[in-house]
Amino acid sequence: MDVPRLERIIEALLFLSPDPVSVADLAEATDATEAEVERALDGLSGLWREGQRGLVLREVAGGYTLAADPIAEEAARRLLAKPKTPPLTQAQAETLAIVAYLQPVSRPEVARIRGVSGESAVQTLVERGLIEESGRSRFGAVMYRTTPLFERLFGLKGLDALPDPSQFDPSPEDERELRERLLKAGEQRAS
């Protein structure tokens, strides 16, 4: 298949797909080889380069997708100001971070780390499709892991793209707040 035609077909497929599409799936759909698809993606990446158009080609969650150029962020926020789903609560965000970094992890492990029950937060994250069951521990507890939707929503190529927690350098105020929360959680656990 000639490259310009393949590029057009792949561009249409990426536009139509709500999820990132792997090279293998693109090759199967277009009846092309993976090498031909990769050449076409290289051509498209030149067309969809940041700063050139309103869309950019991104590699995320094991596949490719078209995304809005970051220059449109403020305008897009104003246009789409009404959230379709409520934002994550602090408990949900903490639970999601624990699952993302320690997966697979069980609900009791999440509760032990947070110092409070994580049942509601885990259930909400499962309902939103951000985490899913991934088996059971040797004690029978359900284990959880993040989903491809999590990677897509956070713009991650994979879990290895998560920020390195050892590089976290909190401000003195954040450090003081974290220390107080940890001490309080430890006191509650000791009681």
pLDDT tens digit sequence for 44-67? 887 766 567 888 888 998 999 988
How crowded is residue 115: how many other Cβ atoms within 10 Å of its Cβ?
15
* CATH number where 163 lies: 1.10.10.10
For residue 183, the model assigns a pLDDT of 67
If phi > 0 it is left, if psi is from -120 to 50 it is alpha, else beta; for residue 40 that is alpha
Q: Are 29 and 60 part of one and the same domain?
A: yes
Given 19, 42, 77, the domain boundary residue is 77
Given 43, 77, 111, the domain boundary residue is 77
Asked whether the predicted pLDDT for residue 154 surpasses 60, the reply is yes
Range of the domain at 165: 90-190
Q: What is the tens place of the pLDDT at every residue in 31-50?
A: 999 999 999 998 888 776 65
User: What's the first-to-final CA gap in the chain, in angstroms?
Assistant: 71
Q: Is residue 84 part of a domain?
A: no
As for how many domains the chain has, the answer is: 2
Asked whether the predicted pLDDT for residue 26 surpasses 80, the reply is yes
- Residue 117 — φ and ψ, nearest 5°? -60, 140
